[in-house]
Amino acid sequence: MLTEETESLRASTLNAHYTRLDVIRAIYAAIEHLGLAAWGKLRVLEPASGVGHFLGAMLASLATGGERTAVELDSITARILERLYPATRVFACGLEVAQLPRDYFDLIISNVPFGDYAVHDPTIKDKRLRECVHDYFFVKSLSLLKPGGVLAFITSRYTLDKKKSAVRRHLAQQAELLAVARLPSETFKRNAGTEVVTDVIILRKRPAPVSIDENNIPVWLETEMLRLRDDQSAEVEMPVNRLFATRPDLALGEMKLERGMYARADLGVIATHNDLAEALREKLIVQFPANPLPAPTATSPIAVQTPQVSSTKESVETEEGLIEDQRNTTVRARASALFELYLQAKQVIQLQLDDADDDALAEAQRELNWRYDRVRGRYGAINHSRTTRGLDTKNPILPFLRALEEPIANGGWRKAPFFHTRTIRPGRQSTTADSPKDALLQCLNELGRVDPDFIAGRCGLSCDETVAALEGLIYETHDGHYLTAEEYLSGNVRLKLREAEAAAKLNSTFAKNVEVLKSVVPPALGQEEITARLGSGWVPADVITDFIRELLPGYKGQAQYHEQLGAWTVANADHFTLQSVEATQTWGTDRRHAIQLIDDGLNLRQPTVYDLIVVKGKELTVINDVETTSAQAKLTEIRQRFAGWVWADAKRAERLTEIYNERYNGLRERRYDGSHLQFPGMSRSFEPRPHQKDGVWRLLQSRATLLGHCVVNVSRRFRFMAH
């Protein structure tokens, strides 16, 4: 319960921003039409929260029983926010440093800060996506939003109107635009003292990113020059998003040219609605889909898919498709007999798959034997080349027919066991299980992933009871998936630990994930176990720059590593530094100065010095052995110097060991256990070995797999070659 003092503080804070609250309530009222209330307990994030205007205005239908999280940079405001909303988890820091789990939140909503300044966030590699703070909030928040979740921001109009489309292209790849509205210039004048044009943008995160090409460019990706007039009939062209250019009705007012706060002429929106909140709500709702949005579902990142067979000419199972030369009557007669044999063999297979009784199967096998004997008597064994002469070798019927025979010692062929025994295991799927563990094995066998609802249905328990019973065998991830212990406790466990720690700060149920992941994270390596070479891509560029300045005190440039190219560049030094004793004698030579040698070392090149000579009037380039040897010797000295220098400073050594362990020492190998697998349709004469079942399970679970099993050759020649 809030005290009277807190209630008074909340009321005074909200009343001071009543105009903004009208807009916020209108956004919530519109969002309610998307059906979020039916999703259950929402996980809501308000980045750049201020004193929690969005949290305070949240409708009761959306706020019931959910998790609420806020991020506020100013520490005093963050403490006020904690006092106002004690049930909200508040991070008193910038969004770029807040430890928040990816793919976690159902709804992210805020009035984000506007500004043409960059944000430092190493997790976003593309610098274009963080050049402006308001654009950065979109990009960062989308990474925190669950697939299918909703993002609603009030932002600067330049998110949509600026000419550069890199940010909008990224947003279109990650999310679909549900609705947009442009607010009048004076919307926030009373409470913020500013007249700016702002947009309300509502996005829904896609289940997976899509590619954007020339054939499917959304209209809101591009801008066009729009001619605007002011009250004095002056005209200026300025870039405006194509969506507003083609649909000016999406602006809650008339777009005109007016004197801006920072420019002589700028875009303005003159309000034309008496009730701005109601107009905004209606404008957003009419753009929404007709049906409520389905709740975000935690789909498995790897789904077992059944390959689709294309109906090409080669795969058509007809007698005519088996014949290569239709005019040859002999070939046609042979193909007809083989095709009848094929159809009868398929009938025997179907009976075994249907688990038919022994009498029906025996009758079909007698017919199969008769047809085979007739083919064998007339044309010989199926695997003899003369039997298949004139038939289409690309037709899949031929390999099937050849498999009806097996070789014998004298080079001949005999009937396979298929002709007289049951060789196929019928697929029997249980509909019940004696325990949650048995139901889990059935689920893995049939679906290839963990599905708590499927398991609960098989063992007759509720979903919560099932998850509790399988504790230690399955784990819930921060993004709503359930994984087996073998999968969850393998791979990049250090990254999983960070994500689990971030989720545990918001939901205590993830505390057990943190504990079990800590137990499997590889122990940290010390500096004596790590080799930091000159040119290693994991060494930060500023460390390399400091090393260059250690060798050349007058150096003012910078070293940079281009990760996509895997290459280093070193800015050249001024003339004085390049002519110094350190550059030309101590750490370099007259022909190859120290900066060039460091660049060679960073890019793993051996320095080579060339001379230009003239032979018979032609210029030739030849290697100068003496200068080359001298340059290579200097590079060896530089590398040796770096190997000792890089660990000499305690702070630098601690930083490098942390980077190395984070980047390279967080992987735990997964062991695939396929003992639960069943193989409906497999021959009864064959029982897969444990390592084969494990291999099949790995194939089902991995996107790409190489089964590099060694083949043992019994031939003396091949044994010799193997050694």
In contact, 293 and 176? CB cutoff 8 Å: no
pLDDT number for residue 364? 92
Q: Measured between alpha carbons, how far is 182 from 582 in angstroms, rounded to an integer?
A: 61
For residue 604, give both structure tokens: 């793993």
How many C-beta neighbours within 10 Å does residue 194 have? 13
Q: Measured between alpha carbons, how far is 463 from 697 in angstroms, rounded to an integer?
A: 25
| pLDDT tens figures, 653-669 | 999 999 999 889 999 88
Q: Give the pLDDT band of residue 711 (cuts 50, 70, 90).
A: low
For 328, counting Cβ atoms within 10 Å of its Cβ (0-12 exposed, 13-18 middle, 19+ buried), the class is: middle
SS3 336: helix
Q: Measured between alpha carbons, how far is 658 from 655 in angstroms, rounded to an integer?
A: 5
In contact, 25 and 54? CB cutoff 8 Å: no
pLDDT number for residue 703? 66
Q: Measured between alpha carbons, how far is 172 from 161 in angstroms, rounded to an integer?
A: 15
**Mean pLDDT to the nearest integer, 443-448:** 85
pLDDT number for residue 678? 75
For residue 628, give both structure tokens: 């080359």
Q: Measured between alpha carbons, how far is 415 from 405 in angstroms, rounded to an integer?
A: 5
Q: In this model, does residue 127 exceed pLDDT 70?
A: yes
714 vs 504, more confident: 504
Q: Give the pLDDT band of residue 370 (cuts 50, 70, 90).
A: very high
The C-alpha angle 600, 602, 607, rounded to 5 degrees, equals: 15
Handedness of CA 63, 64, 65, 66 (dihedral sign): negative
Q: Measured between alpha carbons, how far is 178 from 167 in angstroms, rounded to an integer?
A: 17
pLDDT number for residue 323? 80
35-49, 224-238, 309-323, 542-556: range with lowest mean pLDDT: 309-323
For residue 127, give both structure tokens: 């610098």
Q: Measured between alpha carbons, how far is 664 from 52 in angstroms, rounded to an integer?
A: 40
Which long-range CB contacts under 8 A does 115-124 form with residues at least 24 apart?
116/158, 119/94, 120/96, 121/96
Q: In this model, does residue 544 exceed pLDDT 80?
A: yes
| pLDDT tens figures, 297-320 | 654 444 444 444 444 444 456 777
pLDDT number for residue 223? 92
β-partners of residue 560 are 569
| pLDDT tens figures, 230-289 | 766 677 888 999 999 999 999 998 888 876 555 567 788 888 888 888 999 999 999 999
Q: Give the pLDDT band of residue 19 (cuts 50, 70, 90).
A: low
Name, in order, each residue with C-beta under 8 angstroms of 408's C-beta and a sequence gap of 6 or more: 414
Q: Measured between alpha carbons, how far is 221 from 245 in angstroms, rounded to an integer?
A: 12
For residue 123, give both structure tokens: 């997790």
Alpha carbon separation from 291 to 33, 285, 306, 635, 671 (Å, rounded): 9, 11, 31, 68, 44
Cα maximum dimension of the chain: 104
pLDDT number for residue 4? 53
In contact, 581 and 552? CB cutoff 8 Å: no
% residues pLDDT > 90 (the chain): 48
Q: What is the homologous superfamily of the domain 4-206+276-285 according to CATH?
A: Vaccinia Virus protein VP39 (3.40.50.150)
Mean pLDDT of the chain: 85
DSSP-derived letter for residue 471 is: B
| pLDDT tens figures, 388-417 | 888 888 888 889 999 999 998 888 899 988
| pLDDT tens figures, 213-222 | 877 889 999 9
3-state helix, strand, coil in the chain (%, to 5): 45, 15, 40
Alpha carbon separation from 265 to 194, 230, 238, 256, 276 (Å, rounded): 16, 9, 10, 10, 25
Q: Where are the domains of the chain?
A: 4-206+276-285, 313-419, 436-520, 527-665, 675-723
68-72, 172-176, 355-359, 569-573: range with lowest mean pLDDT: 355-359
The structure tokens 């209330």 sit at: 37
The C-alpha angle 170, 196, 34, rounded to 5 degrees, equals: 50
pLDDT number for residue 5? 54
pLDDT number for residue 258? 77
Q: Give the pLDDT band of residue 718 (cuts 50, 70, 90).
A: very low
Pick the CATH number of 436-520 from 1.10.10, 1.10.357, 2.60.40, 3.30.300: 1.10.10
